[in-house]
Amino acid sequence: MSHLDGPSAALLAPVLDVPADAPSTVDSLTRLPDELLPAVDVSALPDAPEHDPIRWGVPLVPVIGLADSDRRLAAHGAAARAWTRHAVVRLRTGPDRSGPDAATAAAERVWRLTGLVPEQCDLLLDAGDVCCTADVRLAEPRVRRAAEWARRHAWRSVTVAAGGMPPALSRLPVDEPVRLDRYDWSLWQRLADLDLGYGDYGVSCAVRGADEPGDRVPTLRWATDDAWWVYRWSRRGGRGDERFADLCRTVTAAPHWPPAGAGFSWGDHEIVRRARRGAGAGSPANWIAWSTSHHLAQVLAALVRPERDQRGRAWWAEPDAPERGRTGRSPRGGESHRAG
């Protein structure tokens, strides 16, 4: 995210989940662009004063859970008043299904103990993983019920978020592009009548710890409007730089490569450099960063163009371009079948 320009950063509201083994969250926050104010969820950390974000001394938006302790709610309220005077309330539509009256009671407890009012709270309806058609069918009515409940209150905004990247990508084939449906985008489109904001988990799985950092096979996760193109490359078993250069040449020659090419995003620029053997293969962290950069640019481009163009084929697809790669089956069992 540090490579975002000012106008793009202003359109984003990142939510950062702090894992229990996070080495240095404060350092990560200080590297973000000035225009990008992150919301931070510390629910995975022990409920103790030393883990309260207000102690970090970095401007942020606290993320509040309906079941947070009284002590943590008070700490979140202090953080909100210190920096932004607003917070994010995260309702997980899977686990948090206690009925509208119980949800209202929980929300009123949040407002009372944080000292905030509904108009100071962005509501995040978190649908979690949606990695197959069955997941979307299950998530949609849950989000609709939560959105109907949300209308009872004057929230600052209401957004639905879901994760569309399946876990265990190491089970996918290597040396050929594999197409997987972007079910997070599909879910949001099915909810278009609710006029909710859009959110996703980027190029990562929604389940904490589900990604496989130990998988050293060069991998890119390239987003189009309604698909992920996953490239896992070990072709010819040569040196890492050569293998990755071959992967990048394949990506840049694909029908779903954006017409703007290297100018589409910082991530696309880095891929072009490596396709021309202008740099090394990088690391798994680089592959995630480049994929994320492209994904952010893709999502922003899709959201700002006219609604009539947001459906159907990817917005940069060539009408007569042949499909390349193969249709994949996600490790969760959801079969991919739509055109990119």
pLDDT value at residue 69: 97
Q: Distances from the Cα of 81 to the Cαs of 36, 50, 76, 122, 188, in angstroms?
A: 18, 19, 9, 15, 32
1-163 belongs to CATH 2.60.40 = no
Which regions of the chain carry the CATH code 3.20.20?
A: 1-163
Closest CA relative to residue 329, chosen from 186, 138, 132, 128: 132
pLDDT in tens, the chain (340 residues): 556 666 777 778 889 998 887 656 777 787 777 778 889 999 999 999 999 989 888 899 999 999 999 999 999 999 999 999 999 999 999 876 678 999 999 999 999 999 999 999 999 999 999 999 999 999 999 999 999 999 999 999 999 999 999 888 888 999 999 999 999 999 999 999 999 999 999 998 887 665 555 567 889 999 998 899 999 988 655 666 888 899 999 999 999 999 999 999 999 999 999 999 878 888 988 999 999 999 999 999 998 865 434 433 222 222 233 333 333 333 333 332 222 2
Closest CA relative to residue 256, chosen from 324, 185, 200: 324
What the block records as the tokens of 170 is 């190491």
- Three-state secondary-structure class, residue 125: strand
Residues 6+ apart with CB under 8 A from 316: 224, 256, 257, 258, 259
Question: How is 206-258 classified by DSSP, letter by letter?
Answer: SSTT-S-TT--S-EEEEE-SSEEEEEE--GGG--HHHHHHHHHHHHHTSTTS-
Closest CA relative to residue 265, chosen from 313, 300, 238: 300
Q: Distances from the Cα of 278 to the Cαs of 150, 250, 253, 274, 289, in angstroms?
A: 51, 16, 17, 5, 18
What the block records as the tokens of 254 is 């694909």
